[in-house]
């Protein structure tokens, strides 16, 4: 079956979804240059915007130094992610919905304590940061989420579908093809949470590491990625996890996962985020 939606032709079948976008392209703010006139004033440079973002994370001087991923063993992953996730999920689950993992919707409190089943998922795959070399982005626990080993392996290093779409509302954790390029489509309810981590990682480390460009579909759906975050603010689990990290010795957290996330998602700052993500 094929249907037109906006400029996209979507072909669906039982095992896959294929989306074809129109050939028309409009340049993003980032592609137009680092400094543009706005109301008679020079637009802040990318690095100035980056420092503003870093300040919202914890320090205008940039992210702290984390242990290198290759040297982080099971104990380090336990302390940096699984223990914090289990504590936050257990506390939130006492008085509200049970927090679930983003891909296969497994209760996080259970998964985080199951050493055989759990894994650390890099929302921005390690292979897309500095090629085969290590990078600082992969070391940052704010860029990780708890996932099952099975779901982690299923996703691989495919770019994520991080937006809503009429023909991808019920496509949960499956491979889809957009403009002929394979993507991994998590459940709709998880996309805003994953988008916050994806945007955070690119905005934080875009000038520190060499990060592969987003997919063409991610670029074309930037406004939709923003919309899904605006319409689905961080839940209590995300906020609890961010607050714990903010109060840790490094005092660094993803501002999009806090109660003040809207400060970066209003009309005045969305273009700043776009510049940081695509620069």
Average pLDDT, the chain: 87
Choose the most confident range, by mean pLDDT, from 135-149, 171-185, 260-274: 135-149
Q: Taking each helix axis as running N to C, give the angle between helix 267-278 and helix 188-205, from 0 to 180 degrees, rounded to the nearest 10.
A: 70
Q: Taking each helix axis as running N to C, give the angle between helix 46-57 and helix 267-278, from 0 to 180 degrees, rounded to the nearest 10.
A: 110
How far is Cα 102 from Cα 193, in angstroms, rounded to an integer? 8
How far is Cα 121 from Cα 20, in angstroms, rounded to an integer? 29
Q: Can you say how many angstroms the Cα of residue 151 is from the centroid of all Cα atoms in its chain?
A: 16
Residue 206 φ then ψ, to 5°: -60, -30
How far is Cα 192 from Cα 99, in angstroms, rounded to an integer? 14
Asked if the model's pLDDT at residue 172 lies above 60, the reply is yes
**Span 15-70, pLDDT tens digits:** 455 555 544 444 444 444 444 444 456 778 999 999 999 999 999 999 999 999 99
Task: For residues 87-107, give the mean pLDDT.
Answer: 95
Beta bridge partners of 107: 100
Kindly provide the residue ranges of all beta strands, DSSP E only, lying in 22-156, ordered along the sequence: 37-38, 41-42, 118-122, 144-148
Distances (CA, A) of 223 to 31, 53, 111, 183, 206: 16, 19, 33, 18, 20
Asked if the model's pLDDT at residue 8 lies above 70, the reply is no
Using DSSP, state whether 64 is helix, strand or coil.
coil
Task: Report which of 168, 165, 124, 57 is spatially closest to residue 277, judged by C-alpha positions.
Answer: 124
Task: For residues 250-256, give the mean pLDDT.
Answer: 98
Q: What confidence score (pLDDT) does residue 19 get?
A: 55
Q: What confidence score (pLDDT) does residue 41 get?
A: 64
Residue 194 φ then ψ, to 5°: -65, -35
Kindly provide the residue ranges of all beta strands, DSSP E only, lying in 136-227, ordered along the sequence: 144-148, 174-178, 181-185
How far is Cα 168 from Cα 121, in angstroms, rounded to an integer? 22
Q: What confidence score (pLDDT) does residue 268 get?
A: 82
Q: What confidence score (pLDDT) does residue 29 get?
A: 43
How far is Cα 181 from Cα 259, in angstroms, rounded to an integer? 35
Residue 122 φ then ψ, to 5°: -85, 110
DSSP letter (8 states) at residue 39: T
The proportion of the chain whose per-residue pLDDT surpasses 90, expressed as a percent, equals 78
Asked if the model's pLDDT at residue 98 lies above 50, the reply is yes
Task: Report which of 278, 277, 276 is spatially closest to residue 52, judged by C-alpha positions.
Answer: 276
* The pair of three-digit structure tokens given for residue 266, joined into one six-digit string: 């209003």
Q: What confidence score (pLDDT) does residue 30 get?
A: 45
What's the distance, Cα to Cα, between the start and end of the chain in Å?
Answer: 37
**Which of the four pLDDT bands, split at 50, 70 and 90, describes residue 14?**
very low
Place of tokens 């993500």: 277
**Which of the four pLDDT bands, split at 50, 70 and 90, describes residue 246?**
very high
**Which of the four pLDDT bands, split at 50, 70 and 90, describes residue 244?**
very high
Using DSSP, state whether 96 is helix, strand or coil.
coil
pTM: 0.86
From 116-130, 147-161, 168-182, 240-254, the region with the lowest mean pLDDT? 168-182
Q: What confidence score (pLDDT) does residue 33 get?
A: 43
**Which of the four pLDDT bands, split at 50, 70 and 90, describes residue 119?**
very high
Asked if the model's pLDDT at residue 272 lies above 90, the reply is yes
**Could you count the other beta carbons within 10 Å of the beta carbon of residue 47?**
11
Q: What confidence score (pLDDT) does residue 80 get?
A: 96
């Amino acid at each position: 079956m094929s249907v037109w939606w906006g400029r996209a032709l979507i072909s669906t079948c039982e095992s896959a979804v294929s989306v074809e976008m129109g050939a028309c392209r409009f340049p993003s703010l980032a592609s137009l240059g680092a400094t543009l006139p706005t109301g008679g004033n020079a637009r802040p440079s990318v690095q100035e915007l980056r420092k503003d973002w870093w300040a919202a994370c914890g320090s205008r001087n940039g992210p702290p130094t984390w242990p290198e991923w290759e040297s982080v063993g099971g104990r380090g992953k336990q302390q940096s992610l699984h223990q914090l996730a289990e504590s936050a999920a257990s506390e939130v689950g006492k008085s509200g919905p049970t927090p679930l993992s983003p891909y296969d919707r497994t209760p996080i409190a259970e998964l985080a304590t199951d050493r055989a089943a759990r894994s650390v998922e890099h929302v921005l795959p390690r292979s897309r940061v500095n090629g085969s070399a290590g990078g600082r982005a992969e070391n940052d626990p704010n860029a990780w989420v708890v996932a099952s080993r099975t779901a982690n392996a299923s996703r691989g290093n495919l770019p994520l579908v991080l937006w809503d779409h009429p023909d991808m509302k019920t496509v949960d954790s499956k491979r889809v093809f957009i403009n002929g390029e394979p993507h991994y489509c998590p459940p709709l309810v998880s996309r805003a949470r994953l988008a916050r981590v994806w945007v955070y990682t690119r905005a934080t480390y875009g000038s520190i590491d060499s990060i592969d460009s987003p997919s063409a579909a991610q670029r074309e759906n930037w406004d939709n990625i923003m919309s899904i975050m605006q319409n689905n603010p961080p839940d209590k689990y995300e906020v609890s996890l961010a607050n714990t990290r903010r109060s840790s010795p490094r005092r660094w957290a993803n501002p999009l996962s806090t109660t003040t996330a809207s400060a970066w998602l209003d009309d005045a700052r969305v273009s700043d985020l776009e510049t940081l993500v695509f620069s």
